[in-house]
Amino acid sequence: MNKCEPLAIAYLGPPGTYSEQAASFYLNWLKSNQEIEATLSPYPTIAKSLQAIATEQADIAVVPVENSIEGSVSMTMDSLWQLESLRIKLALVLPINHALISCADSLDNIETVYSHPQALAQCQGWLAKFLPNANLIARNSTTEALEGLPQAPETAAISSQRAAQLYNLPILASAINDYPENCTRFWLVAKESTENNGFNPTHTSLAFSVPANVPGALVKALEVFAHLGINLSRIESRPTKRSLGEYLFFLDIEAAVTSPLMVSALAELNSCTEVLKIFGSYSVLTVNSESKKF
């Protein structure tokens, strides 16, 4: 990164997404706490936001990783495993409030609803109750879903209230997520070589594969943490994509990578896993609605 250039923050666009809200929060934080200027650059997919870091087109990517209702964002996990030399620098937890945006006069006229798969899933109860016959179609992001709404009044999109204001589109229903306490965790990902941001790391994320057809291989790996009294806050499996029934295991751990217990754990883990990748050690910030400044 050129020190004179503002920091380029990649996020899942077009502007107005929840990822942009998380990216804006970080941009404001950088300005007020570290006097660092930054700019926001939208990318069409989560994978492309992360690739922009690997290819040094951008300095930091803000990507959704897990939702309190719907679970993990598989595109983020798969890209992190595939791309080398990326590190998680910080986690941000944001409250998520969805609205139904449409130029239709009433819900009765809506035939199709577009949104990011996570948003469709987070509103499935509401959709089943109020739009039981609508076709639900996935888009790359909640704001990509807004494209074409004015030309097609029989369509609607699930996006944020702020996105409706940004694109001057009407809100037909608000607070439509099935659970009011809907939160999403975002990771801020940079190149391994990037300086730390001053937060003391409290969590570590990693993933590993285990030797094929070894009974108890996963138990052995998990016992490393249990025996050392280290708490795990998430475990998730993803297919290796090599052959059916082979998995990668993603773990979030409540300890910094440099803590003495983790140093012992990682040494032991190395000996019972096949490939082990450490995605970073970072701190978690929870953003409440009032502190989302733009």
What is the binding site for ligand PPY (CB under 6 A)? 12, 17-19, 64, 67, 96, 116, 118-119, 141-142, 184
Whether 25 contacts 287, CB under 8 Å: yes
Compare residues 187 and 249 and give the one whose CB is closer to ligand PPY: 187
- Tell which residue, 294, 293, 289, 283, has the closest CA to residue 96: 289
Q: How far is the CB of 211 from ligand PPY (least distance, A)?
A: 35
Compare residues 43 and 225 and give the one whose CB is closer to ligand PPY: 43
Compare residues 116 and 203 and give the one whose CB is closer to ligand PPY: 116
- Tell which residue, 36, 35, 18, has the closest CA to residue 92: 18
Q: How far is the CB of 271 from ligand PPY (least distance, A)?
A: 37
Q: How far is the CB of 280 from ligand PPY (least distance, A)?
A: 20
Q: How far is the CB of 225 from ligand PPY (least distance, A)?
A: 29
Compare residues 68 and 196 and give the one whose CB is closer to ligand PPY: 68
Closest residue by beta carbon to ligand PPY = 17
Compare residues 157 and 272 and give the one whose CB is closer to ligand PPY: 157
Q: How far is the CB of 65 from ligand PPY (least distance, A)?
A: 10
Q: How far is the CB of 119 from ligand PPY (least distance, A)?
A: 4
Q: How far is the CB of 245 from ligand PPY (least distance, A)?
A: 30
Compare residues 91 and 96 and give the one whose CB is closer to ligand PPY: 96
Compare residues 21 and 197 and give the one whose CB is closer to ligand PPY: 21
